[in-house]
Structure 1
Amino acid sequence: MKAIKLPSAYTILLSIIVFVAVLTHLLPTGKYAYQNGEGKRLSPQEAMRGVEDGFLPLPNTYEAVESNPQGIFEVILAPIQGFYKAIDVSVFILMIGGFLGVIMATGAIDAGVKQVLKKLKGKEQWMIPVLTALFGLGGSTFGMAEETLAFYPVLIPVFASAGFNARTAVGTILLGAGFGVLSSTVNPFSTAIASGFAGISIGDGLGVRVFIWFVMWVLTSSFLLRYAKSVKTAPKIEEEQKEIALPALSQKQSLALILFALTFLVMIVGVIPFADLGITIMPTLGWWFNELNALFLCSAILMGVLVGMKEDEIASNFVNGARDMLGVAFIVGISRGITVVMNDGLIIDTILNYAEMAISGLSSSVFICMMFILEVFLSFFIPSTSGLATLTMPIMAPLSSFAGVEAHWVVTAYQTASGFVNLFTPTSAVVMGGLAIGKIGYGEFFKWVLPYLVVVFLLVLLVLGVGVMV
């Protein structure tokens, strides 16, 4: 039987634009009254921009307005207008890509992981919690996913020499980076994009996400350690293979890693609203996309200079890294085109009104758990974290005001749902690529990881459900 192949994310999103345009001919049209972030009620003209600018709809103010159905011409223009609407996010993605292109070209991350392995020689069981923490930090801070594919050929032989099987190595890399993405703290491709469309700072809800990261690290490490113990065998390697080549971390690579860590530290300090948290010892900088774009651009250039790259090498590596992120930028633009059609067709508030009626009377816990489950469902069709954020946040974030839930909980529900699905979905190139390198069948992998997935699913529901009440 031939395997069913899902269309690409681009095709799915373009199809949704057409579907939404059809809905503008079928659904009643209406508008809410809106208020801005300072609580000021907006005029109807100002409110026409609606959720695109992070304005919050006021409950029980929905009124019918004259329809404005969208035709073929509007459908064709929607992705282009979407790029204009999401230009700040798209540029941010390219700057991040360029920055990562420079650090990856130094070989610092690869060499750093190898040095960790060298330090753990003779204490091989500690490879698992240490490496899951490293990959988890990568997933949590810069969305490390595709980059992990380079580590499978390196780590599988290392794990084998320590007496562990390929599944242990694959699980350490795949689940390690995966739980990091699920519990993203400042991940620019999920948390930052979703926060931007929700009209909040990336620092909002950071404490909750750090807590989820720690719990997920303990859970993932425990699952892998328990399995590794059950399959541990005596090392079986030939005499000439006993010493695995682990090149030393050069001084330049060390500098690159230090600057890499400092860049994300500065990013975190720049976006956290310390004043809102009652912290006076740290200044509230109020940074957002413009400042962060400048940060990653300057850090990339400085890193290139510090490691001795020539001017053309810095430029080439930066451009190559940005090029790798073009697909993500395209997805963001096309996804935003959906919101353009819904907004111009005056049905986005109608959908919000239906949702308001559906959640009316629900407790905050039930609301946020339903939000998580809905995002899990949508993630199967749109595995791109940035695409899913762009598609759902303009609608989901305003619903939080109806349910009396802070918007950062909706962002957390979205990113945990997307991260959860991308731990195992067969539509993910990261999942299928890692399994292919490890020569592990998907059915075998899914059966093995299913108990872990059930615990993760229930754990996230528990954290979300209890957290909104605290």
Structure 2
Amino acid sequence: MKNLKFPSAQTVLLLIAAFVAILTWLIPSGQFDRLAYNKDENTFVKTNKENSITLEATQKTLDDLQIKIPLENFTSGAIYKPISIPNTYKKLAARPQGFKEFILAPLKGIIQVADIIILVLFIGGLVAIVNYTGAFEAGISRLSKLLKGKEYTLIIIVTSLIAAGGSTFGLAEETIAFYPILIPIFLAAKYDAIVALACIYIGSSIGTMASTINPFSTIIASNSAGINWTTGIYGRITMLVIGLIICVLYIIRYAQRVKKDPTKSIIFSQKEMIEKMFLFNNSSGNINFTFQLKMVLCIFILCFIIMVYGVSNLDWWFLEMTGVFFVGALLIGFICKINETVFVETFIKGANDLLSVAFIIGIARGVTILMEDGLISDTLLYYSSSVTEGMNKGFFINSMLFVYSGLSFFIPSSSGMAVLTMPILSPLADGVNIGRESVVNTYLFGMGLFNFINPTGLILASLAIVKVGYDKWLKFVMPLVIILAVVSMVFLTISVYI
């Protein structure tokens, strides 16, 4: 028993995929009808497994379908994905996923998320080029001197900035780029890799959990629920502030304990291995932080600023983000006059270092494909809506919190969850005499809470970069998840009674 090790992230995901494949044999197949807006023809298209029909794009059509959403939410482009139509759930012929489907699902997943995988590989290449120049080494040495005795400020700054990104534009997959940069900084500050992981991943998670103006969750969920996205925003801001304070204090408490006594680290047994991977030579203090190296770091940081601006304001997505990092690598190679052969070899080696992360992202998507092909996601949604119907306010809203946490294992996409569930679950709020914004908040908080540990989300890919096991992460983060769950329940209960 002593020699038993927790399985790798890839193995964990394959085990989950096998579990989901088994569920497709046990859970009845079924599906709600879908309604999509055709912008070019200004019509609705109603589809099910048998056929599709074209309908007039009018408010009367929505009313006839019992969809309580203003027409302008569709015509303005606020709802751009097909939504579920209430009271249309039908059981379908079983679609159990067998051995062949289980084997092909991870491969299909890798193909579907090829754009994310390419982004991850190019980030690895850029980081390797910057490492080759020595800019990280010199910059970290300078930063360590500036923060001496005040290292905890790094935790506050990093966690708060990433939380702000998560809350406003859904900063999530993009955070993968930050790990290779920030881990050496936190290690140089005498913290462990868990602290760096926590600041980035928990920062993103608490930000998306209390999304304020995030178009991929709050806005699309509110529109799909038939309400203005500003409804309930002050409550979400309050929850963001409270949650962020709790998370920062939790991380600082652990970080200070590790700084005083490294043996208190959850990953103390991996200390030498991780430091060998991420820390530079002790001679780093003697490296001259030249103008050229400062230029390299400025270009590197500028890549992230441009990426954030492009995603927020120019409708950029993974392809454009990848292009930014590629151009950044080329510019650094030109400025530092890196030999062409050395540049290519270094870039490819850096991409190879993140190949395992890329595979994890693809395999995780494969789990979702098994559920979609097995037609069980809508069945779970249907029975979830039946369970919560007719409850009193407090019990209803807290039950919905856990319904959304459970559903997020099967539907990890925030926008996908919104358009599939909101037309079905948000009208239930009318029956218990509470505002639909409360259901939007339970969707955010429920998904956000489970996101801290969701193996079909980004956590396994993040852990693979830091070389930390999933079991170690659970040991670190579960007390925080419990605290946030209690705070969320209290917040939601108070909100439906005032």
Cα pair distance change 1:92/1:130, threshold 3 Å: closer
Structure 2 contact 33–89 (Cα < 8 Å) conserved: yes
Q: 1:413 touches 1:464 (CA, 8 Å); kept in 2? A: no
Residue aligning to 2:46: 42
Q: Residue 457 of structure 1: CA displacement?
A: 5.7
Amino acid at match of 1:44: N
Q: Does 1:261 align with 2:301?
A: yes
CA shift for structure 1 position 216: 5.5
Task: Identify if the C-alpha distance between structure 1 residues 138 and 64 changes in structure 2 by more than 3 Å, giving closer, same or farther.
Answer: closer
Amino acid at match of 1:42: K
Counterpart Cα distance in 2 of 1:14 and 1:118? 44
Q: How far apart are residue 293 of structure 1 and its match? A: 2.2
Residues 159 and 248 of structure 2 are in contact (CA less than 8 Å); yes or no, is this contact kept in structure 1?
Answer: no
Deviations 1:332-362 (A, max 9, x none): 2222222323322332322222233234457
* 1:333 counterpart letter in structure 2: G
The counterpart of 1:219, out of the listed 249, 259, 276, is 249
- What are the equivalent positions in structure 2 for 1:84-95 lying under 5 Å apart? 84-95=111-122
Corresponding position of 2:375 = 346
The alignment partner of 1:316 has SS state of helix
Residue type matched to 1:6 in 2?
A: F
Equivalent position to 1:79, from 100, 106, 120? 106
- Offset at residue 269 of structure 1 (A): 1.9
Aligned-residue offset at 1:410: 5.0
| Shift in Å, 1:129 | 1.4
What letter corresponds to residue 376 of structure 2 in structure 1? Answer: I
| Separation of aligned partners in 1, 2:382 and 2:400 | 18
Identify the match of residue 178 of structure 1 among 198, 215, 228: 198
Partner residue of 2:357 out of 314, 325, 328: 328
The code of the aligned residue for 2:324 comes to L
Structure 1 vs Structure 2 CA RMSD:
5.2
Structure 1 position 178, deviation (Å): 0.6
Would you say the 8 A contact 1:33–1:41 is kept in 2? no
Deviation at 1:265, TM superposition (A): 1.8
- Could you give the per-residue CA deviations for residues 237-260 of structure 1, whole angstroms, max 9, x where no partner exists? xxxxxx993534222232222222
Query: Alignment partner of 1:245: what SS?
Result: helix
Of 172, 175, 180, the residue aligned with 1:142 is 175
Q: Show the counterpart of 1:160.
A: none
User: Is the Cα–Cα contact under 8 Å of residues 115 and 248 in structure 1 kept in the other structure?
Assistant: no
- Aligned-partner SS, 1:59: coil
Partner AA of 1:133 in structure 2:
I
> How do residues 247-286 of structure 1 correspond to structure 2 at under 5 angstroms?
247-272=287-312, 284-286=313-315
Whole-angstrom CA distance in 2 between matches of 1:309 and 1:61:
62
Contact 1:176 1:220 in 2 (8 A): no
Structure 2 unpaired stretches of 5+: 53-79, 164-170, 222-228, 262-282, 427-436
- CA distance in structure 2 between the partners assigned to 1:114 and 1:469 by the alignment: 53
Aligned to 1:56: 83
CA contact (8 A) 1:34 1:55 kept: yes
- For the residues of structure 1 that align with 2:388 and 2:179, how far apart are their CA atoms? 35
How far 1:34 sits from its partner (Å)? Answer: 1.3
The answer as to 2:159 corresponding to 1:127 is no
Aligned residues: 400
Q: CA deviation at 1:264?
A: 1.8
Distance 1:60 1:21 in 2: 27
What secondary structure is seen at the aligned counterpart in 2 of 1:36?
strand
Provide the residue aligned with 1:297 in structure 2.
Answer: 326
The one-letter code of the counterpart of 2:253 is: F
Offset at 1:373? 5.5
Question: 2:138 corresponds to which letter in structure 1?
Answer: A
Alpha-carbon offset, residue 155 of structure 1: 3.5
Aligned twin of 2:136 = 109
2:402 to 344, 367, 370: 370
Give the equivalent residue in structure 2 for 1:67.
Answer: 94
- 1:254-310 CA distance string (max 9 Å, x none): 2222222222222222222xxxxxxxxxxx421122222222222222233233333
Using a 3 Å threshold, how does the CA distance of structure 1 residues 225 and 7 change in structure 2: closer, same or farther? closer
Counterparts in 2 of 1:33 and 1:257: CA distance versus 1, 3 Å: same
- Counterpart Cα distance in 2 of 1:27 and 1:450: 29
What is the CA–CA distance in structure 2 between the aligned matches of 1:248 and 1:210, rounded to whole Å? 41
Q: 1:305 to 1:341 in 2, by over 3 A?
A: same
Look up the match of 1:312.
Answer: 341
Distance 2:300 2:402 in 1: 37
What is the alpha-carbon distance in structure 2 between the residues aligned to residue 213 and residue 258 of structure 1?
32
Asked if residue 402 in structure 1 is aligned to residue 424 in structure 2, the reply is yes
Other-structure match for 2:278: none
* Equivalent residue, structure 2, for 1:28: 28
Assess, with a 3 A threshold, how the Cα gap between structure 1 residues 3 and 21 changes in structure 2: closer, same or farther. Answer: same
TM-score normalised over the length of structure 1: 0.65
Equivalences for residues 416-431 of structure 1 within 5 A: 417-419=450-452
Structure 2: distance between partners of 1:335 and 1:107:
35
Distance 1:226 1:30, change over 3 A: closer
Check conservation: 2:155, 2:252, Cα contact below 8 A: no
Give the counterpart letter for 2:22 in structure 1: V
Task: Give the Cα–Cα distance (whole angstroms) in 2 for the partners of residues 333 and 103 of structure 1.
Answer: 27
Counterpart mapping for 1:422-441 below 5 A: none
The one-letter code of the counterpart of 1:142 is: T
For residues 256 and 32 of structure 2, what CA distance do their matches in structure 1 show?
A: 53
Name whichever of 219-228 and 332-341 sits farther off: 219-228
Give the partner amino acid of 1:180: I
Q: CA deviation at 1:115?
A: 1.1
Note if contact 2:144-2:188 (Cα within 8 Å) is conserved in structure 1. no
CA contact (8 A) 1:97 1:318 kept: yes
What is the CA distance between 1:63 and its match in structure 2?
1.1
* Alpha-carbon distance, 1:113 to partner: 2.9
